Structure 1
């Protein structure tokens, strides 16, 4: 097999591979779909038959229970009990006749209410007999009495005996009854019903053209079937086994030399096995049409696929053959030679031509390799320059923090020194010194606690300057104090809140610093209760922040270069998806939110 494959040219081999790749998955997928469809249809059929059997079982039980209830007045009637206790000579003929008349009248009333009743009779062990339709105990009646007595329960529960008379189904409901003198049964009460109405109801079970409904006992003997010739026959061994072992189930078995799907359920009232059957050919009829359609579709798809594959293979093989011809003219240079292949196809011929031109191509490869190394080195140098440029830009942005605040502070410290003495100057000097030391720390990232301490020092100095208290509220989870954020990112926002809040509002300024965690994003909010701004101005500021144009615009001058610097530094360090976002409402206040990646300080 391997030798035969090696003898094939490239076109033939590719065509073979394409055929295998197309046909094998098609067979596998078709088989899986067919099996799943079969299982699905079988399950649907089982559910459908189960519904039919359950419905017929309910209707049948209700039909028979109706007549069981109709006999209860006779079971408890005192005249019936006295009649069963009578012995010859115990009572005169007139009184006995009254018993008979009362009982017969009750039977007649029951029969009038239920016209399906064909016969009602009571037969006692004392050979006393009352029959609705005729009088006297015939030999046939005696035989039935002995038969019913042997199958009925001593407890008085009903026994249902189906019979077939000239193609019509009759049901005998019999039970043992007691007299007045003892609890032992003294006779049999039986009611015979023409079950043609029940048979019509069973025939109405819609199971298709070849499907049918039947009833069997627990031993597998057929009690009812649309074909009267089948009644009394016994199911096959598979069916008998299923009926005797299970209360409900499904199975496949042969019926009239056809594989048939059976679903059965046991009536808890009559103990009958109600069976719905559908031939396998009818069950899988929907798949047959799908199978033919799928086969024709698959044949068409394969034909189209083969046509496309042949065209595709030609597009691959023909260029290789052209390369094979053109490479024979290029037989100069040096290169590492490839071992020849032990086969006779286009690839083998291509390698033979290739080995003749390796020496020359080797030199070209060396030159290309050196050129690529030089190009990579240049790229590395450009990347280093770009990183250095970004670092310088970050440092330049940090150095642009407005120094006018420091100058004003120093002037205030001098004024306090001349007027009030040294205590305030000392406090301001300590805070300012701490701020200077913090500002010159050579760190890009600090903790939230570091930034809060810096803000507290900043507010100490500012309160001395403006002679007006500033309320600082910290709504920060203590667990977040050690989380990292950009250094000197809060001071410009607090300074902007004071600048545009306290100076433009008559009320006391309150600044709230709040932190939130939203997934992998840390939000630090600086909220003031200042004047706020209009929606138009707010939208314009946010748009400039997104485009990093604050520092070059009139808005940047209006709000302070510090906000633009903070936004740009955050984006240079973490990316454009982070930075500042501002919300505001006039006469309520402004909220500036810093968006940072959530990471703890290591």
Structure 2
């Protein structure tokens, strides 16, 4: 009883170990799978957001490139108008404003046309079409001369309200007439208020020296509108930074983060940590304008990643709990069934052969074991009852086996005694026939299934020698067997039935022209044994019948040693590609070819 309880505890302990190992494996597998899926999905989300940021930056880049292309075209038009560049703009840049006004009045008075074409008309013609232009500056290379054309007075006045001249003058201690220094300060302050300038040099058409610079100040309201339209398609903020690190634009209307001030001038994607938080930075470098377009995305704004992490974790925990619970329930059921089997085994060990394991409705290995166990007990009880009968039958079988061993030896000894008596009486022919008959019996009663070709040929020789003694000088046999093939293996009683078939159906007793050829040759990886005679032959109808029987596998009239028997034995041993092939011509003879695989593959082909 103590042993049985101990075994039960051990059984439960085994199942507990299996449950622990299985649970650990499930949890490890599920969490590894969750980690892989979360990592992949996180990368997908981040890549999607970065792609959206890239598309937004490309739209902004295209917008500014379009404006830069427009300024470039204006400059080309300027150089094509020789009167304007030669006689007006060049003079304006090389002289002060009062001198230029006197010059322009003189030119107007001398001109036959009432419409003057000068610096003002140039500004009006080319820089009033784009509503994003705040102002245009034409500044001389010589300090002191600068002309400003205001296109949008509202935004210009808004800007001046934020930068009152008096405040700047008081702060810097400047005189009201010191407009050059005021202008420089305005250019420095413009970065804070999101103004983007595009500049082009103006060269003297005669000596190609730079005489001034044309600068167009664009408002960033169009960029802000573009971002507003795409707000749902990207995260974070957008910044435009000059090649020198200066801030040109920020969608947050504030200074750029310190992390971006030393950003390299290149197109790339990176992940940086700043002030304890992770940020994704996407940059596009524009060599043509010298700007870097930056998408700055805090990791916390990509809320989907956090949500995916939570859902993945909850799904993993839920699936793991379900898998472990189902496993526990199933294993508990199996444990109970195994305990029943274990108890039944101990009952049998204690001598109770009447116990049986209850049948289960489930169809599995445990049910098979239970049924086999019950069947074993039934058979065991039956064997116990029949044990005496079986012992008696076993003894009788042993006696018969001893007798079967004695009979062949008795036959060999008797034939040898007769042969010795024939020799003593001077009958050598009878002695030879008895010797050949004994060899035939010895070969027939041998237990070997596969023999050498040499042994099968020797058996055929003994058989033919008996026929030749009976019919002297009427049967001529030739053996064309290379010595290298004598060690090949062949099924016993393969050649002798073919020779016997010839002697029964093809041998002509009235003539001494009977010839039989036994030939062995090799073709590739097969051995062919050929038995050819010049006997009566087989009619075409009979030949077709024989070939059909060989193909069908039916037995011929010759019994178990007939042609069909040999053919079937060869196919069962070597496969359907091997066996007998029979050809015959009535009145001329028959040829039988035996095809078997070569056992000695290294022999040369013939």
Tell me the TM-score normalized by structure 1. Answer: 0.52
> In structure 1, what is the equivalent of residue 575 of structure 2?
575
The reply on whether 1:447 has 2:471 as its aligned counterpart is no
How many Å apart are 1:24 and its aligned residue? Answer: 1.1
How many Å apart are 1:60 and its aligned residue? Answer: 2.3
> In structure 2, what is the equivalent of residue 518 of structure 1?
none
Unaligned runs of 5+ in 2: 1-5, 154-175, 353-386, 406-445, 452-489, 582-594
> In structure 2, what is the equivalent of residue 94 of structure 1?
105
How many Å apart are 1:10 and its aligned residue? Answer: 1.3
CA change 1:11–1:129 in 2 (3 A) is same
How many Å apart are 1:219 and its aligned residue? Answer: 8.5
- Mapping of 1:45-64 within 5 angstroms? 45-64=45-64
The reply on whether 1:305 has 2:346 as its aligned counterpart is no
Unaligned runs of 5+ in 1: 1-5, 151-160, 331-363, 415-428, 449-482, 501-536, 554-560, 582-593
- Mapping of 1:239-278 within 5 angstroms? 243-244=263-264, 247-251=267-271, 253=273, 259-269=278-288, 270-275=290-295, 277=297, 278=299
Indicate which of 337, 342, 358 corresponds to 1:315. Answer: 337
Task: Tell me if the contact between 1:171 and 1:192 (Cα under 8 Å) persists in the aligned partners.
Answer: yes
> In structure 1, what is the equivalent of residue 20 of structure 2?
20
- In 2, Cα distance between the equivalents of 1:566 and 1:541? 13
1:361-415 residue CA offsets vs partner (Å, 9 max, x unmatched): xxx9xxx9xx9xx99xx9xx9xx9583599235436755897999989xx9xx9x
Indicate which of 489, 509, 525 corresponds to 1:484. Answer: 525
CA change 1:94–1:579 in 2 (3 A) is farther
- In 2, Cα distance between the equivalents of 1:487 and 1:145? 111
How many Å apart are 1:14 and its aligned residue? Answer: 2.2
Task: Tell me if the contact between 1:177 and 1:189 (Cα under 8 Å) persists in the aligned partners.
Answer: yes
How many Å apart are 1:309 and its aligned residue? Answer: 2.0
> In structure 1, what is the equivalent of residue 126 of structure 2?
110
The reply on whether 1:234 has 2:234 as its aligned counterpart is no
1:143-191 residue CA offsets vs partner (Å, 9 max, x unmatched): 556887x9xxxxxxxxxx98464xxx44221233322354443322111
Task: Tell me if the contact between 1:214 and 1:222 (Cα under 8 Å) persists in the aligned partners.
Answer: no
> In structure 1, what is the equivalent of residue 449 of structure 2?
387
CA change 1:487–1:191 in 2 (3 A) is same
How many Å apart are 1:293 and its aligned residue? Answer: 2.2
Could you say what secondary structure the match of 1:487 adopts? strand
CA change 1:193–1:109 in 2 (3 A) is same
Could you say what secondary structure the match of 2:56 adopts? helix
- In 1, Cα distance between the equivalents of 2:546 and 2:220? 91
> In structure 1, what is the equivalent of residue 140 of structure 2?
124
Could you say what secondary structure the match of 1:292 adopts? helix
> In structure 2, what is the equivalent of residue 294 of structure 1?
316
How many residue pairs match? The answer is 407
User: Rg larger in 1 or in 2?
Assistant: 2
- In 2, Cα distance between the equivalents of 1:319 and 1:281? 57
> In structure 1, what is the equivalent of residue 39 of structure 2?
39
- In 2, Cα distance between the equivalents of 1:192 and 1:312? 84
Could you say what secondary structure the match of 1:115 adopts? coil
CA change 1:205–1:552 in 2 (3 A) is farther
Task: Tell me if the contact between 1:11 and 1:314 (Cα under 8 Å) persists in the aligned partners.
Answer: no
1:29-71 residue CA offsets vs partner (Å, 9 max, x unmatched): 1221122112212331343234323323332222112111212
How many Å apart are 1:244 and its aligned residue? Answer: 3.1
> In structure 2, what is the equivalent of residue 71 of structure 1?
71
- Mapping of 1:113-152 within 5 angstroms? 113-126=129-142, 127-133=144-150, 143-144=182-183
1:185-205 residue CA offsets vs partner (Å, 9 max, x unmatched): 332211122332333333444
- In 2, Cα distance between the equivalents of 1:7 and 1:246? 74
CA change 1:65–1:32 in 2 (3 A) is same
Task: Tell me if the contact between 1:118 and 1:194 (Cα under 8 Å) persists in the aligned partners.
Answer: yes
How many Å apart are 1:252 and its aligned residue? Answer: 5.1
CA change 1:598–1:13 in 2 (3 A) is same
Could you say what secondary structure the match of 1:9 adopts? helix
- In 2, Cα distance between the equivalents of 1:10 and 1:100? 112
> In structure 1, what is the equivalent of residue 238 of structure 2?
214
- In 1, Cα distance between the equivalents of 2:147 and 2:124? 12
CA change 1:172–1:220 in 2 (3 A) is closer
CA change 1:273–1:59 in 2 (3 A) is closer
Could you say what secondary structure the match of 2:53 adopts? helix
CA change 1:19–1:121 in 2 (3 A) is same
Tell me the TM-score normalized by structure 2. Answer: 0.52
Task: Tell me if the contact between 1:216 and 1:222 (Cα under 8 Å) persists in the aligned partners.
Answer: yes
Task: Tell me if the contact between 1:397 and 1:565 (Cα under 8 Å) persists in the aligned partners.
Answer: no
> In structure 2, what is the equivalent of residue 157 of structure 1?
none
Task: Tell me if the contact between 1:248 and 1:265 (Cα under 8 Å) persists in the aligned partners.
Answer: yes
CA change 1:245–1:75 in 2 (3 A) is closer
- In 1, Cα distance between the equivalents of 2:265 and 2:252? 26
Give the root-mean-square deviation of aligned CA atoms. 5.7
1:407-431 residue CA offsets vs partner (Å, 9 max, x unmatched): 89xx9xx9xxxxxxxxxxxxxx9xx
Task: Tell me if the contact between 1:447 and 1:601 (Cα under 8 Å) persists in the aligned partners.
Answer: no
CA change 1:403–1:48 in 2 (3 A) is farther
Could you say what secondary structure the match of 2:197 adopts? strand
How many Å apart are 1:322 and its aligned residue? Answer: 5.0
> In structure 2, what is the equivalent of residue 176 of structure 1?
201
How many Å apart are 1:222 and its aligned residue? Answer: 6.9
CA change 1:572–1:290 in 2 (3 A) is same
